[in-house]
Amino acid sequence: MKIVESAPNFSEGRREEIVRQIMAQAEGVQDVWILDWSMDADHNRSVVTLVGSPEPLLEVLFRMTKKAMELIDMRTHKGEHPRMGATDVIPLVPVMNITMEECVELSKRLGERIGQELNIPVFLYERSATAPHRENLADIRKGEFEGFFEKIKDPRWKPDFGPEEVHPTAGVTAVGAREYLIAFNVNLGTTRIEIAEKIARAVRHISGGYRYVKAIAVDLKEKGMVQVSMNMTNYKKSPLFRVFETIKREAERYGVPVVGTEIIGMVPMQAMLEAAQFYLQLDDFDMNRIIESKILEILANKLKEVEQ
């Protein structure tokens, strides 16, 4: 069985009933499972993590995009997180018995259908990108929903699929195949956004930080603090614990404490194991020492025997 993961981001993080209606599009679809979902009022954004077989997963993602188009009006949307569409981004990640190249083809099929049937401009990003300047999602999203009405007139930003004008309420959507991404946020015990901005610059790749880190500063007004919000695009080469330690040391320079962290959506077990190894100073420890990992291995072998 081929398994693909997706974590579509929707521009709604304050009205739970809207998010639940979007997630309901997966109900009754065989071989698709919602693993996790989360909302953030400050970001005004939700993330839903799904896995499934390619064909039914594409169908669910299309239905979710259609429902988000019906329920979310980007003209009234405000939030701390950069955004350009009701369904802002749809990643496709190879998990089991499927290649990255196959996920690229799936992303093109989904993008074409969204463009043709929903009249939403679609941009392919990451491994699916059709030009180098479209690989980085942040570059596509620059200008956000409000700025895209002018941006889309530039030939360099002609959509890969769909109309060459922004959908008036649903905006534009990015679809692409990529590796695992960890959305990792670090909260700082201060309301000074300029400190979070300095720390974000210190860790993000584009300004001289870690190669596989994208970071922005976010003002969490409702919580009375600021945040360094990150996308970790390769946790194996830029580990969570290393980036966290850098943020903590940088914050100490300004007399600011780290008051908490959060992971949005799902995370690979290996990333958490590496953090445990670092902070507990464990020697010669690996996945084979994790009880749940061994149980899953036994169950997988039993399933293979049944299939044979």
Structure tokens at 196: 């979070």
With contact defined as beta carbons under 8 Å apart, do 171 and 84 qualify?
Answer: yes
Give start and end residues of each alpha helix (H) in 128-283: 137-141, 144-151, 193-203, 240-253, 269-280
Sign, Cα dihedral of 127, 229, 203, 249: negative
Instruction: Give CA–CA dist 179/12, Å, rounded.
Output: 25
Structure tokens at 23: 């997630």
Answer left, alpha or beta for residue 126, where phi above 0 means left and psi between -120 and 50 means alpha.
left
Instruction: Give CA–CA dist 269/127, Å, rounded.
Output: 24
Task: Give the three-state DSSP class for 264.
Answer: strand
With contact defined as beta carbons under 8 Å apart, do 162 and 85 qualify?
Answer: no
Catalytic residue among 77, 81, 133, 167: 81
Closest CA to 227 of 240, 235, 236, 218: 218
Q: What is the dihedral angle through the alpha carbons of 57, 133, 166, 265, rounded to the nearest 10 degrees?
A: 40
Our answer to whether residue 81 is catalytic in this structure is yes
Pairing, β 173-177 against β 87-96: parallel
Angle between the 54-71 and 16-23 helix axes, to the nearest 10 degrees?
150
Active site residues: 81
